[in-house]
Amino acid sequence: MVGYCPICGKPVYFGEKKRSLGRDYHPLCLKCQKCNRQLTAGQHAEYDEKPYCSHCYLKMFGPRGIAFSQ
Ligand SMILES: [Zn+2]
Ligand SMILES: [Zn+2]
């Protein structure tokens, strides 16, 4: 089964996917959409279906609604 990377919109194949928060990313696409820091799967925040590091998330949206679970 091929999923689509929510960042670049291209297919993510099994061998290269990085699954985090219920979505499949390319390893290089799983980065903070604000500061471009590489993110660890399952250990980042998400807003509007885009991944952010917790630092940027807190700065932009505050501490509420942060989701670290799958
Ligand atoms: Zn991608
Ligand atoms: Zn960031």
pLDDT in tens, 12-23: 999 999 999 899
Domain locations in the chain? 3-61
- Asked if residue 2 has pLDDT above 50, the reply is yes
Q: What is the mean pLDDT of residues 23-28?
A: 94
Token pair in block for residue 53 = 């590091």
C-alpha distance from residue 68 to each of 8, 10, 32, 47 (Å): 22, 25, 14, 12
CB distance 16 to 23 below 8 Å: no
- Please report which ligand is nearest the Cα atom of 35: 2
| Helices (H), ranges, the chain | 54-61
Span from the CA of 1 to the centroid of ligand 2 (angstroms):
30
Span from the CA of 45 to the centroid of ligand 2 (angstroms):
9
Span from the CA of 62 to the centroid of ligand 2 (angstroms):
13
* pLDDT tens-digit series, residues 50-62: 999 999 999 998 7
What's the CATH code, domain 3-61?
2.10.110.10
- Please report which ligand is nearest the Cα atom of 24: 1
The pTM of this model reads 0.78
